[in-house]
Amino acid sequence: MHYPWWYVPFFTSPMLIAIIAVLHVLVAHYAVGGGLFLAVETQYAYRQNHREYLAYLKEHAWFFILITVVYGAITGVGIWWTIGVASPLATQTLIHIFVFGWAMEYVFFVLEIVSAFIFYYFWGRLDPKTHVRVGWMYAGSAWMSLVLITGITAFMLHSGRWPEERTFWAGFLNPQFVPQVLARTGGAFLLASLYVYLHAAFKAKDPALRDLIAARSARPALLGSLLIVLGGIGWYLTLPESAKAALVAASTLNILVVLLFAVTIAVFFMLYLGPYRNPGWLSPGFALLFFTFGLVAITTGEYIREAVRKPYIIYNVVLGNQIYAEKVPELRRTGYLEGGTWTKAWVSHHYPQVVNDGRIDPPRLLMLPEEDQVKLGEVLFLYHCNDCHAGRRGFSAVGQLLRGWTPDMVRTVVKHPEKAHFFMPPWAGTPEEAELLTKYLLRITHPRPGGMRFGEER
């Protein structure tokens, strides 16, 4: 409401956040778990004086840098880029609450970068003890990054005591913090092993070496699986009631939860039967399939984690449509168009006749010609609804969802969306504005599909 709404046809702009976030998270977990893998295994290889394994680890470290330092770092910055333009009020709020959380994470990020480059570029030039220490320095810094960022992302799902206390720690140490740290740490272990299998299946030519890698990486992966289960249970138990309800009520989430369970169970079994019990199974095909399952599980898990938060971006603080939850009653009185900085400027510029004494007068909106009312309905739709719904076509398009609805049905849902679906935000405008939005929605709604028969009344 304080900022312009970026219109992205078909997809909606928040979907760009989802795309970049998922692309990032697939690598971010590896950046943590892979760092631990390199530290532990390099230490082991030095102790055993295993030259072939050390050579492999150096090759893996190069792969690790190319994936995490380049792609991981840029997509991490990319999340900043997209949340700022697609969800500005929530970003502004988060950054004012947690700027020092991010600043602390930044310190660890610097340590990650410096230690990662020293670990790789000075391979063979540092004495083993120092080399391993640098590896542990990386692993520790990467895990601290995970802890710090998880405190912030977990806050978005459960703001805990923050709405009452409004302090950094009340927000950071929220109920979701520990479960999500556990789950993400487990995810980091597991995903790192899948990356290792994928890399080793193609790069480690010696079968004995490949078996060693498979067997040794199975243990952290199994530990990771255990942490994911523990974290997942904690995550579910500390979910807000509406998030638990969304998991059951939303059909897309039902399917995704089933998919997540199925893929996760498949990964556990493959891990146990494959690398743990039969390291020789690690072929390129097996590793690819394993890796794909891991990516599907992580992607699905992230999607569910994001989706159950609806209708909030920050639970109980900022709604998906970029308004403070506490401002809804005021906006219902004064008007959504009046309350928004850019909506008010747009209306004042195009329809000065509806402005009275510097404020938009809601009854005057309905005195405008019909086409202008529809146009204002479009403004309301874009600013109030487009964060989740495309218009005529596209992601969750209302033009498709409302097919066959009568004007009264549309009007009722516009006035009380949170009663139609509890995961929708409440209407935050006047009754006159609801009428404008209704007119626009009826204009873009596709007709009821023909050819459907339900028997004939006699």
- Let me know: does 354 contact 364? Beta carbons within 8 Å: yes
- Least distance CB 172 / another protein (angstroms): 8
Residue 133 or 364: which CB sits closer to another protein? Answer: 133
Residue 268 or 324: which CB sits closer to another protein? Answer: 324
Rg of the chain over Cα atoms, rounded to whole angstroms, equals 26
From the CB of residue 392, how many other CB atoms can be counted at a distance below 10 Å? 14
- Least distance CB 329 / another protein (angstroms): 16
Residue 352 or 455: which CB sits closer to another protein? Answer: 352
- Least distance CB 250 / another protein (angstroms): 27
Residue 102 or 281: which CB sits closer to another protein? Answer: 102
- Least distance CB 239 / another protein (angstroms): 26
Residue 108 or 235: which CB sits closer to another protein? Answer: 108
Residue 370 or 408: which CB sits closer to another protein? Answer: 370
Residue 107 or 409: which CB sits closer to another protein? Answer: 107
CA–CA gap between residue 20 and residue 153 (Å, rounded):
15
- Least distance CB 364 / another protein (angstroms): 18
Residue 224 or 335: which CB sits closer to another protein? Answer: 335
Q: What angle do CA 432, 309, 291 make, to 5 degrees?
A: 135
- Least distance CB 69 / another protein (angstroms): 5
- Least distance CB 286 / another protein (angstroms): 28
What is the Cα 43 distance to its own chain's centre? 35
- Least distance CB 376 / another protein (angstroms): 8
